[in-house]
Chains A and B, each alone.
Chain A
Amino acid sequence: AQSVTQLDSQVPVFEEAPVELRCNYSSSVSVYLFWYVQYPNQGLQLLLKYLSGSTLVESINGFEAEFNKSQTSFHLRKPSVHISDTAEYFCAVSETSGSRLTFGEGTQLTVNP
């Protein structure tokens, strides 16, 4: 079984500041890792994913995450945030041979002017 821990439930930052949303996971088998974003009253949108290969993965809107196997982490970063990045961010993990996603509790990112 896997588990995901998102260490911060709330992250308030000012516009144009850098941000890091932390995610640690636990699993006894190989995993895939995901970050999803949820805007108010909407469904989840896939932000980025790590399946294999380069441990640094990037999204089209400036986010990046790095898979660190030794620390079992998959932290999400952005060097300069915008007001429009305000949303809830979920880290998720799955077994490479599985079908279900296991989610963390979520981190509410609030970007203030």
Chain B
Amino acid sequence: NAGVMQNPRHLVRRRGQEARLRCSPMKGHSHVYWYRQLPEEGLKFMVYLQKENIIDESGMPKERFSAEFPKEGPSILRIQQVVRGDSAAYFCASSLEGVVNEQFFGPGTRLTVL
């Protein structure tokens, strides 16, 4: 049973470009969470989604960031017009239901903005 998959593992963008990060949850999981890890810091919650619904986006920056989890396909975290401060590791986690004690993490996408 494959775990949580994220791609790409590494992404390099120039300032002003768009970054699209993908997360495929574990088989059977319908709840997805995105966290961001800035250099030398712990992980910070960004957004919690179920299929076709955003449940909690209180950790998302107000501008340039969006997330979706369509009925079919992976969850996408989209960052428009990236800036150097967006450089970080972005982790996705999934759970069978919205149960916090059963979140499984992916390997992360490391975004570097030049």
Interface residues of A (CB under 8 A from B): 4, 6, 32, 34, 36, 41-46, 49, 51, 90, 92, 94-95, 98-106
B37-54: CB near A (< 8 Å → 1, else 0) gives: 000111111001000000
Q: When the two chains form their complex, are residues B42 and A100 in contact, meaning their CB atoms are under 8 A apart?
A: no
The answer to whether B101 has its CB under 8 Å from any CB of chain A is yes
Enumerate chain B residues within 8 angstroms of A43, measured Cβ to Cβ: 4, 6, 91, 105-108
The answer to whether B18 has its CB under 8 Å from any CB of chain A is no
The answer to whether B100 has its CB under 8 Å from any CB of chain A is yes
Q: Which of A41, A43, A94, A103 has the most CB of B within 10 A?
A: A43
Known: A32-B101, A92-B43, A94-B101. 6 other contacts (CB 8 A): A4-B42, A43-B6, A43-B107, A99-B98, A100-B59, A101-B103
Bound-state CA distance A67–B19 (Å) is: 40
Contact of A100 among B6, B40, B45 (CB under 8 A): B45
Contact of B43 among A41, A46, A49, A101 (CB under 8 A): A101
Q: When the two chains form their complex, are residues A90 and B42 in contact, meaning their CB atoms are under 8 A apart?
A: yes
Q: When the two chains form their complex, are residues B42 and A104 in contact, meaning their CB atoms are under 8 A apart?
A: yes
The answer to whether B33 has its CB under 8 Å from any CB of chain A is yes
Q: How far is the CB of B86 from chain A (nearest CB, A)?
A: 19
Q: When the two chains form their complex, are residues B100 and A45 in contact, meaning their CB atoms are under 8 A apart?
A: no
With A43-B91, A43-B107, A44-B105: A32-B100 Cβ-Cβ less than 8 Å: yes
Q: When the two chains form their complex, are residues A101 and B45 in contact, meaning their CB atoms are under 8 A apart?
A: yes
Bound-state CA distance A102–B44 (Å) is: 7
Chain B, Cβ-Cβ closest to A98: B100
B1-24: CB near A (< 8 Å → 1, else 0) gives: 000101000000000000000000
